[in-house]
Amino acid sequence: MAAVAARGGFGLGRPGWRARGDVVRTVFLARIRIISRYKGAIFMEALLPIVFAAMPVLLGTAFAGPNAAQNFQLNTGTANYKLYMLLGAATFTVVSLMLWLIGYWVRREQETGTLESLYLAPASRFWILTGVTSYAFVRAFSAFLIAIALGSVIFQVNPFENGVGVALLFLALGLLPLWGLAFMFGAFIMKIKEADSVIQVLQWVLAFLIGVFYPLSLLPPFMQTIAGLFPPTVMTDGIRAAILNIGYFYGTGGPYASLAVLFAMALVVPLLGYEVFEVTERRLRRKEGVGQY
Amino acid sequence: MGLTRFDVRNRIVCFWDMSKKKIVEFSRYPVAFIALFVQIFLIITMFLYASLAFTADPTAGPNDQSRQIGATVVYGFVVGLFLSFTLWEMGFSLREEQTRGTLESLYLSPASKIGSLLARVFAILVWVGTLSVFAVLFVGAVLGGLPVANAGLATVVLAFSVSGFLGIAFVFAGVTIKLKETAQFLVSFLQFFFMIFSAQFFPFRALPQPLVDYVSRWLPVSYCVDLFRSLMTGAIPELIPDVAVEFGIVVAFGIVSPVVGYAIYKRFERGARTAGSLGEY
């Protein structure tokens, strides 16, 4: 009996699919329970894209005056600059929140001293991270939906005029590479520690590369190339192009080329992200340990 | 004993020591400083690009209009930077002490409480000042120069503005003691509220007139932004087209706000100490 137990463990040692599902669910629920205590955070996340979108709209219209819509159309292909900014800002919130929440989770666990304890648990980190990223996804997507709904009322724009289905496809596909990027980001935070400052600066790097407030064609050619290799850029561009009926970053014949690129990214980036996370984690465990902060 | 009877010299030494503690803390995280530097340039660049999307010919080089846009963004941004960092740093730092469990012990020390609050923002404000100079130089270099009409008086306006912001920060430090984590969201909200209604990134004329009349005109921060920007660009202030009147408002704000703010802070602090919740988080 003892030999059987020693060989097979006590059940927890080799969790089956049900136990893995339980790990994801428990982590997810724990995070949701924590955030539900801070309703202000959810409100702010929804408000943020609207404020972000309002600033360039007000700046642009103040200087371009009655020609604002006409000039904007010349540069972007649509005169609906309010919806353009709102979509950009709302998608940016999704990207930023996904990375922010994972980065902060790693850092918080490090600071509170529970990250190392997680490594003693028989649950695989993959499933714990899946729970955290699922929570991040739900929170980010909720913020996106509220921001679009509220922003549409405030800016008096209709986001359902064109291509909502294609836009949702871009969003769904784009979340997969974002998941991978979140893993990479978590690994990076684990390594360098200073989460706050890194997240903040990266947030603006992202906003710059994504082209939250402007078309990528305004960037210098080499910057356009870099931005195009970045999955959130393709996602944001796709969502905006589908809803506003404007040109896509990749290809001229509709959304297919951009979708294909995003699909390829969706295959590669999550695997790459998790690999990076594992390698970083292994190295840290060999050296100072993951709990040091 | 000695320490319990603070004279001016003791207060200054104590303030410097507390500021030094923050500087030492900051120096341990050099990435944070570099990140802040990079972040500011990125924000400005992004807004400049955003404004390009509204111009008839974005490929054309810098002209008077682009310089005007740049000046509006960067001068408003400078005031916004001081406001944001004053608001954030004080409350955030108190919150950190609360969660670390050192806030209560700090209150047992005879050190000046106002000095302790000011020391939390001193280092970061010096750094923000440096960043602001670089931000103006950066935009000036990109756009081939920026208007700098009355830098001397604008600096005085900025000094009174920062003093006024400290008053708001005192209030939020008190609110942080009371509301704990929620206060941070409140600060975030306030930061964005001022960003929009005090027209930090755009001229006031961009806002709908009722918003200017019923919201912006009632916020002292709006006059700080308006006066600093108009003095730097040499334009007439937008809210009240009289520099002397706006200057009076900003000076009054700079004097009254810290006094009222600190009184409110003390009230929150007393309440927490009476309830024994100062260190609770």
ipTM of the complex: 0.81
Q: What is the mean pLDDT of residues A140-159?
A: 91
Q: Which residue has the higher pLDDT, A13 or A65?
A: A65
Between vectors from CA B84 to CA B258 and to CA B119, what angle results, nearest 5°?
Answer: 55
Q: What is the mean pLDDT of residues A186-212?
A: 80
Cβ neighbours of residue A239 under 8 Å, at least 6 residues apart?
Answer: A87, A91, A167, A170, A171, A174
**Is residue A289 pLDDT above 90, yes or no?**
no
Would the CB atoms of A60 and B50 count as touching at under 8 Å?
yes
Interchain CB contact of B189 with A (< 8 Å): yes
Distance of residue B56 Cα from the nearest chain A Cα, in angstroms? 5
**Is residue A8 pLDDT above 60, yes or no?**
no
Q: Provide the pLDDT for residue A2.
A: 52
Q: What is the mean pLDDT of residues A31-35?
A: 86
Q: What is the mean pLDDT of residues A73-89?
A: 93
Which tokens belong to B131? 């960043």
**CA distances to B120, B129, B130, B252 from B157, in Å:** 22, 14, 17, 11
Position A291 confidence tier, pLDDT thresholds 50, 70, 90: low
Q: What is the DSSP letter of A216?
A: G
Q: Provide the pLDDT for residue A3.
A: 54
To which residue do tokens 């998941």 refer? A179
Would the CB atoms of B202 and A215 count as touching at under 8 Å?
no
Ranges A190-194, B207-211, B268-272: which has the least confidence: A190-194
**CA distances to B197, B206, B207, B216, B220 from B211, in Å:** 8, 10, 7, 6, 15
Nearest-angstrom CA–CA distance, A127 and A18: 12
Distance of residue A17 Cα from the nearest chain B Cα, in angstroms? 37
Position A155 confidence tier, pLDDT thresholds 50, 70, 90: very high
**Is residue A109 pLDDT above 50, yes or no?**
yes
Distance of residue B81 Cα from the nearest chain A Cα, in angstroms? 15
**Is residue B252 pLDDT above 70, yes or no?**
yes
> Which of A84-98, B19-33, B183-197 reaches the highest mean pLDDT?
A84-98
**Is residue A186 pLDDT above 90, yes or no?**
no
Nearest-angstrom CA–CA distance, A241 and A265: 19
Beta carbons of B54 and A64 less than 8 angstroms apart: yes
CA atoms within 13 A on the CB side of B170: 24
Residue of A nearest to B198 (CA): A55
Position B3 confidence tier, pLDDT thresholds 50, 70, 90: low
Q: What is the mean pLDDT of residues A100-104?
A: 82
Q: Which residue has the higher pLDDT, B278 or A234?
A: A234
Beta carbons of B57 and B156 less than 8 angstroms apart: no
Q: What is the DSSP letter of B63?
A: -
Distance of residue A29 Cα from the nearest chain B Cα, in angstroms? 20
Would the CB atoms of A58 and B201 count as touching at under 8 Å?
yes
Nearest-angstrom CA–CA distance, A173 and A256: 13
Can you give the length of chain B in residues?
Answer: 281
Position B103 confidence tier, pLDDT thresholds 50, 70, 90: confident
pTM for the model stands at: 0.83
Nearest alpha carbon to residue B65 among A77, A82, A71, A219: A71
**Is residue A12 pLDDT above 80, yes or no?**
no
Q: Alpha-carbon Rg of chain B, whole angstroms? A: 20
Interchain CB contact of B72 with A (< 8 Å): yes
Q: Provide the pLDDT for residue B191.
A: 86
Q: What is the mean pLDDT of residues B36-60?
A: 85
Ranges A62-71, A145-154, A187-196: which has the least confidence: A187-196
Q: Provide the pLDDT for residue B99.
A: 78
Contact list, B32 vs chain A (CB under 8 Å): 194, 196-197
Ranges A222-226, B10-14, B27-31, B172-176: which has the least confidence: B27-31
Interchain CB contact of A207 with B (< 8 Å): yes
Contact list, A43 vs chain B (CB under 8 Å): 185
Nearest-angstrom CA–CA distance, B41 and B51: 15
**CA distances to A47, A147, B102 from A52, in Å:** 9, 11, 36
Would the CB atoms of A213 and B46 count as touching at under 8 Å?
yes
**Is residue A6 pLDDT above 90, yes or no?**
no
Buried b (16+ CB within 10 A) or exposed e, A153-178: eebebebeeebeebbebbbebbbbbb
Q: What is the DSSP letter of A271?
A: H
In this predicted model, what pLDDT tens digit does every residue of B212-226 receive, in sequence order? 999 999 999 999 999
**Is residue A272 pLDDT above 90, yes or no?**
yes
Which of B28, B39, B54 should we substitute to test contact with A (largest number of A Cβ atoms within 10 Å)? B54
Interchain CB contact of B197 with A (< 8 Å): no
Helices and strands (H, E) in chain A, number of each type: 12, 0
Would the CB atoms of B182 and A40 count as touching at under 8 Å?
yes
Give, rounded to a whole angstrom, the gap between the first and last alpha carbons of chain A.
Answer: 43
Would the CB atoms of B49 and A218 count as touching at under 8 Å?
yes
Residue of B nearest to A85 (CA): B50
Q: Provide the pLDDT for residue B242.
A: 93
Interchain CB contact of A253 with B (< 8 Å): no
Q: What is the mean pLDDT of residues A50-67?
A: 89
Would the CB atoms of B51 and A59 count as touching at under 8 Å?
yes
Minimum-distance CB partner of B53 among A51, A72, A196: A72
Cβ neighbours of residue A22 under 8 Å, at least 6 residues apart?
Answer: none
Mean pLDDT, all residues of chain B: 87
Distance of residue A26 Cα from the nearest chain B Cα, in angstroms? 24
Would the CB atoms of B31 and A200 count as touching at under 8 Å?
no
Interchain CB contact of A215 with B (< 8 Å): yes
Would the CB atoms of B42 and A56 count as touching at under 8 Å?
no
Q: What is the mean pLDDT of residues A161-184?
A: 89
**Is residue B35 pLDDT above 50, yes or no?**
yes
Q: Provide the pLDDT for residue B1.
A: 46
Position B4 confidence tier, pLDDT thresholds 50, 70, 90: low
Interchain CB contact of B214 with A (< 8 Å): no
Would the CB atoms of A51 and B195 count as touching at under 8 Å?
yes
Between vectors from CA B254 to CA B243 and to CA B14, what angle results, nearest 5°?
Answer: 145
In this predicted model, what pLDDT tens digit does every residue of B156-204 receive, in sequence order? 999 999 999 999 999 988 888 887 767 777 888 888 899 999 999 899 9
Distance of residue A5 Cα from the nearest chain B Cα, in angstroms? 43
Nearest alpha carbon to residue A89 among A214, A177, A178, A197: A214
Please give the interface size between A and B, counted as residue pairs whose CB atoms are below 8 Å apart: 131
Which tokens belong to A57? 């709209």
Phi, psi for residue A252 in degrees, rounded to 5: -115, -10
In this predicted model, what pLDDT tens digit does every residue of B135-145 receive, in sequence order? 899 888 888 88
